Amino acid sequence: MKKAAELHLKAASSPNPQGPVALLSAANCYFFLGRYKEALETVEKLLEDYPNLYQEAAEEAEWIKGKCFMALGYSKDKVIAQFKRIIEKYPDTRVAAGAYMEIMEIHLRSGAQDLAMKEWEEIVAHYKQKFPNIVSMSISRWGNFFFEKGDYEEAIKWYSKALDIVPQFASRVLIRVGECYKAMEQYEKAAGIFQEVADKFPQSEQCPQALLLQGQCLYQMGKKKEAKDVFIKLLEKFPTKEEIIGEAKNWIELCEE
């Protein structure tokens, strides 16, 4: 990716109509390499050299700029100001919805839950219909915040809120609810939720994980035979999920001990 960034910069330095695209691509490469200072310098050059940049590219450049501010440890006020700039310039876009979510989480992580709540309410009010996935993500960030603090009951309340507001993402949310009950060692309840995911969403990305977690819960309940059956089902149903298959085989060995 480093080489790609260098090639994009070289392309941008020569006169051609693809200059803006090349600079934006270079900025993305630097960002994903973790070279945030170079990514920031590149997007700032892009925005300065091309003041009439087409909107999609300008949105992405401003977004990368905000994420670089965060990664480089800029002040909370400066980061928020950048994301507010995105909201003001591109109010009805996905990047604006994402900017609201970043501001929300900044407030949430800094202990200003009242301000975080206001941002979340704005997300739901403006983007529930157009970008329901971002609304779901914003609710999950609240749930994740409480999950990380060990406040599983509060996390469940937030994940359950997502089920009510954006039910189309139920498979993702139910996994998190199940993980809360698992963390509280309420294994029977957790296993039931993971079973629900597997039954209702058999083709979802979450189904393999649900089966793995269900088997783990059954194992913790002392139901080794039932757990083994679930792990075998997982192997049979998702033989190409390498990241989960190895773990499932290890659990089968534990069940057989």
Which residues contact residue 20 at a Cβ distance below 8 angstroms, ignoring those fewer than 6 apart?
12, 46, 50, 53, 54, 57
Predicted TM-score (pTM) of the model is: 0.85
Kindly state whether residue 64 falls inside one of the protein's structural domains: yes
The answer to whether position 42 is within a domain reads: yes
Domain count, the chain: 1
Residue 250 lies in a domain: no
**Is 90 in a helix, a strand, or coil?**
coil
* Residue 11 pLDDT greater than 60, yes or no: no
For residues 76-81, average pLDDT: 97
* Residue 52, in any domain of the structure: yes
Please check whether residue 206 lies inside any domain of the structure. no
Longest Cα pair distance anywhere in the chain, in angstroms?
Answer: 69
- Please report the beta strands in 19-148, taking only residues with DSSP state E, as ranges in sequence order: none
Mean pLDDT over residues 171-196, rounded?
97
Q: Is residue 222 part of a domain?
A: no
Burial class (CB in 10 A: 0-12, 13-18, 19+), 140: buried
DSSP 3-state assignment of 35? Answer: coil
Average pLDDT of span 81-89: 97
> pLDDT by residue (tens digit) across 123-178?
999 999 999 999 999 999 999 999 999 999 999 999 999 999 999 999 999 999 99
User: What residue spans of 150-206 are helical by DSSP H?
Assistant: 152-165, 170-183, 187-200
Assigned domain for 38 exists: yes
Instruction: Quote the domain boundaries for residue 63.
Output: 1-72
**CA contacts within 13 A on the Cβ side of 126:** 20
